[in-house]
Amino acid sequence: MKLDRRDFLKLGAVASVGTLVGAVPAHGAEPATPATTAGSGKQKLIWGNLLHLGTNMWCDWDAPELKGDSSIYHPELRLDRSLWDDLLKKMQQAGMNMVVIDLGDGVKYESHPEIAVKGAWSTADLQSELRRLRSLGLEPIPKLNFSTTHDAWLGKYSRCVSTDAYYTVCHDLIAEVIRLFDRPRFFHLGMDEEDYGNQKNYEHVVIRQYDAWWRDFLFLVQEVEKGGSRAWIWSDYVWHHPELFYQKMPKSGVQSNWYYDAKFNPQDKIAKAFQELEQHGYDQIPTGSNYFNPTNFELLAAECRRSLGAGHLLGFLQTPWKPTLEKYRQRHIEAIEQVARAIQAARP
């Protein structure tokens, strides 16, 4: 399918956020609904964890001179299946109920197999694993990060940003992933850290600003909503451009403001964003991490449960920010243990 950017703009989807907010899923599909506690009608809190299938969202596509394991483009799948299986079992035991899978180039998509790295999962393998996850009580949610800082997984298409070719690939991938995940409740689009500070060491810098960022972002949201899912993004754009954010960001999207400090400082600009998002009526899944310290997640969950209204607090997401490799086993295990303690603290 060839999507002409000018035709897209003529539809007014970019100019009017309201068209996205009220978007009707394609083919008459009913909107995805949140999980509820059996017999209560009350929405369960999400207790999720981010696991990586693809890992080439951490690097610049053609800058092998960058040092560090996470800064080098890897042409092969980096996944230790034994660790993957152990983590899922531990998540189930901890009482967690969601796993966000960063797919990237870790899947051999039928629409664009050229994106896949060596050893990528087939679509049949992925669907089989998704069935297993659901049998464990873990809701699988797809993630494809379309930020130009984190899109090396797109291969050559990361150099085609905002072109007709780019729109076509994004359309194809989102539609296929929604089908593979059987119309997931959410679809995480990433969209974080798209600025020069995060690309200053890249050989090839691509940054969308002003309306260019919003045109592409709202296009992605529209594609997700066409498939009957809800767009989910990292919320750091609001730290730097609050007026534009609250003017243009559709309420249909789910926000993950991320805060990784060891102590919660309510006066910090990033911490303040939780309350501001609440005041503007956005659904939130606050996100913590054990990347910098071991105390963040429990503190974040406790503070947000105390200060945010239940109507817009959907749950929490843990982000270890390490590949699913044995050498990072302890980091992953500790991340899940932190969520387990937060779940215990949240029980009446």
End-to-end CA distance of the chain: 51
The domain that contains 312 carries what CATH number? 3.20.20.80
Half-sphere exposure for 192 (CA within 13 Å, toward CB): 16
Regarding beta strands 287-288 and 315-318, do their DSSP bridges make them parallel or antiparallel, or are they unpaired? parallel
In-domain check, residue 79: yes
Q: Cβ neighbours of residue 67 under 8 Å, at least 6 residues apart?
A: none
The token pair at 249 is 């960001």
Distance CA 205, CA 193 (A): 13
Q: Cβ neighbours of residue 151 under 8 Å, at least 6 residues apart?
A: 57, 145, 158, 161
Task: Output the pLDDT for position 203.
Answer: 83
In-domain check, residue 32: no
Residue pair 291/21 in contact by the 8 Å Cβ criterion: no
Q: Give the pLDDT of the chain (348 residues) as one tens digit per residue.
A: 444 433 443 333 333 333 343 333 333 333 344 443 333 335 799 999 999 999 999 886 555 445 555 577 899 999 999 999 999 999 999 999 999 999 999 999 999 999 999 999 999 999 999 999 999 999 999 999 999 999 999 999 999 999 999 999 999 999 999 999 999 999 999 999 999 999 988 888 999 999 999 999 999 999 999 999 999 999 999 999 999 999 999 999 999 999 999 999 999 999 999 999 999 999 999 999 999 999 999 999 999 999 999 999 999 999 999 999 999 999 999 999 999 999 999 998
Distance CA 108, CA 114 (A): 8
Task: Output the pLDDT for position 68.
Answer: 57
Distance CA 23, CA 3 (A): 18
Could you list the residue range(s) of the whole structural domain that residue 143 is in?
5-13+46-346
The full 3-state SS of the chain, as one line of letters, equals: CCCCHHHHHHCCCCCCHHHHHCCCCHHHCCCCCCCECCCCCCECCEEEEEEECCCCCCCCCCCCCCCCHHHCCCCECCCCHHHHHHHHHHHHHHCCCEEEEECCCCEECCCCHHHCCECCEEHHHHHHHHHHHHHCCCEEEEECCCCCCCCHHHHHHHHCCCCHHHHHHHHHHHHHHHHHCCCCCEEEEECCCCCHHHCCCCCCCCCCCHHHHHHHHHHHHHHHHHCCCEEEEECCHHHHCHHHHHHHCCCCCEEECECCCCCCCCCCHHHHHHHHHHHCCCEECCEECCCCCCCHHHHHHHHHHHHCCCCCECEEEECCCCCCCHHHHHHHHHHHHHHHHHHHHHCC
Neighbours of 84 (CB within 10 A): 17
In-domain check, residue 142: yes
Task: Output the pLDDT for position 73.
Answer: 86
Q: Cβ neighbours of residue 8 under 8 Å, at least 6 residues apart?
A: 14, 167, 219
Q: Cβ neighbours of residue 109 under 8 Å, at least 6 residues apart?
A: 115, 116, 123, 172, 173, 176, 177
Residue pair 80/126 in contact by the 8 Å Cβ criterion: no
Distance CA 282, CA 261 (A): 23
The full 3-state SS of 254-273, as one line of letters, equals: EEECECCCCCCCCCCHHHHH
Task: Output the pLDDT for position 72.
Answer: 79
In-domain check, residue 34: no
Distance CA 227, CA 221 (A): 10
Q: Is the pTM of this model over 0.75?
A: yes
In-domain check, residue 25: no
In-domain check, residue 35: no
Residue pair 215/163 in contact by the 8 Å Cβ criterion: no
In-domain check, residue 37: no
In-domain check, residue 285: yes
Neighbours of 290 (CB within 10 A): 23
**136 — phi, psi (to 5°)?**
-85, 0
Task: Output the pLDDT for position 60.
Answer: 67
State the total domains in the chain. Answer: 1
The token pair at 214 is 């919003």
